[in-house]
Amino acid sequence: MQVADVFKFKNPEIKALHLTWIAFFITFYVWFNMAPLASSMLKSVNWLTAEDLKLFAICNVALTIPARIIVGMALDRFGPRRVFSVLLVTMAIPALVFAFGETRTQLLVSRLVLSSIGASFVVGIHMTAMWFKPKDIGFAEGFYAGWGNFGSAAAAMTLPTIAITMYGGDDGWRWAIAQSAFVMAAYGVYYWFAITDGPVGTVHRKPRKTAALEVSSWGDMVKLILWTIPLVGILAVLVWRIQKLGYLDATGAAIAYAVIAAIVVYQIVQILRVNVPILKKGVPEDDKYPFNSVAALNSTYFANFGAELAVVSMLPMFFEKTWSLSPTAAGLIAASFAFVNLVARPMGGLVSDRLGNRRFVMLSYMLGIAIGFALMGLLNSSWPLVIAVAITVFTSFFVQGAEGATFGIIPSIKRRLTGQISGMAGAYGNVGAVFYLTIYTFVDANQFFFIIAAGGFISWLVCLMWLKEPESAFSDEYYVSSVDRQIEQELKA
pLDDT tens readout for residues 308-350:
877 876 777 788 888 888 766 776 677 677 677 777 777 777 7
Over range 474-492, report the average pLDDT: 72
Asked if residue 440 lies in contact with residue 306, where contact means CB atoms within 8 angstroms, the answer is no
pLDDT of residue 423 exceeding 70? yes
Q: State the pLDDT at residue 206.
A: 62
In this prediction, residue 455 carries a pLDDT of: 95
Q: Is the pLDDT of residue 64 over 70?
A: yes
What confidence score (pLDDT) does residue 20 get? 95
The predicted model gives 283-312 an average pLDDT of: 89
Instruction: Please indicate, yes or no, whether the overall pTM of this predicted structure exceeds 0.95.
Output: no
Q: How far apart are CA 489 and CA 493, in angstroms?
A: 6
Name the percent of the chain lying above pLDDT 70.
Answer: 93
Could you report the per-residue pLDDT of 196-216, keeping only the tens digit for each?
988 876 655 666 666 788 899
What's the pLDDT band for 275 if we cut at 50, 70, 90?
very high
Can you tell me the mean pLDDT for 167-182?
Answer: 91
Contacts 24+ apart (CB under 8 A), 45-51: 47/104, 48/104, 48/107, 51/245
Residue 161 near residue 177, CB atoms below 8 Å: no
Query: What is the radius of gyration, based on Cα positions, of the chain?
Result: 22
Average model confidence (pLDDT) for the chain? 85
Distances from the Cα of 140 to the Cαs of 15, 147, 346, 395, in angstroms?
A: 12, 11, 7, 23
| C-alpha span between 349 and 370 (Å, rounded) | 19
